[in-house]
Amino acid sequence: MKMGSSIKIQNIVRWILITSSILALITGCSRMETRSPEDWFNFCWAGLAGSDGLTFHGNAVLLRGEELIAEGNVSYSGQLRDHHELAMKSLLPGTRINKVNEAGNEIKLRWEDGSWSLKSNENDTTAQAAGLARMNPLDQLEEIKNARKNIKLENASARGTKVLRIEIDPADAKEQLQNKLVMEMENLRNKWQRNISKLQSDRRSQVSKDVEAHWSTGKEQLIRMLDQADAKVTYHLTIDRNSGLPIRLTSETRLDYPNIRGINEHEVLLSDNRFVDYQ
């Protein structure tokens, strides 16, 4: 075979290989682009399920009233280890986000029986601890997974990412919120009972009755208000389109309900979480 013919054949073979690679890349990208919003969320869930550890930084603000005036805000961080152990800290005002050791309240949660729960510790059942636990973005992702929802792809997203807009079914949103608040009340009741057990024996019976009556009244009021409440929860989830891992999760929880005087109240809880340091 002549040298010129050999070079031509090599060039043709090289061209075929390059063309095949380009076609394979295009085909792969096309498959990625044809994923439905639900597929993207499942892709994200699979990526998260495969991670043994991560860190997140977040902040939340509560708005109340007709004018939705800010009533409080908190910054916090969390570290997941061994896939089941989560430590969360609320950061003191002015604390740099990367100095997680300078913290106010600290709680530890564990994944067991399909949910995140506060580990057995007297300090874990305070109202502050329960409020901090409610900010757990891993728990929010679990709630998204289990709820009826409407997922849409946002048109604008940074290069290499996908952004999902997720609206939770209003009935499911209210049920999830009610379950959390009732659980927080149960934790509070357990804390009171532990404190009562430390009292002198001649006082325990009467104090226990008073506490139980107070707690029961509060729970009835809570459930009555929630039964008449309207809840709307919207998430925006930013995903790394290559790994499927979540990069950012924001939430907006709107709650309208009648207070114990029958006056309508309006609350909006906003949270913003960013995930880093996957393992």
- Sequence-ordered list of residues with C-beta below 8 angstroms from that of 221, at least 6 positions apart, any chain: 260
The phi and psi torsions of 263 (rounded to 5 degrees) equal -90, 135
pLDDT in tens, 26-64: 454 545 567 899 999 999 999 998 889 999 999 999 898
Helices (runs of H) and strands (runs of E) counted in the chain:
6, 10
Query: What is the chain's alpha carbon radius of gyration, rounded to the nearest angstrom?
Result: 25
Tens digit of each residue's pLDDT (9 = 90 or more) over 174-187: 998 888 888 778 87
Residue 4's pLDDT is 55
Whole-model pTM: value is: 0.78
Mean pLDDT of 92-106: 52
Average pLDDT over residues 75-81: 94
pLDDT at 15 over 50: yes
**What is residue 112's predicted lDDT score, i.e. its pLDDT?**
87
Lookup result for tokens 């430590």: 87
Nearest to 58 by CA among 73, 48, 72: 73
Phi, psi of 162 (to 5 degrees): -130, 140
Residue with tokens 């003191």: 92
What average pLDDT does the chain have?
81
- Domains and their CATH numbers in the chain: 35-173+225-276 (2.50.20)
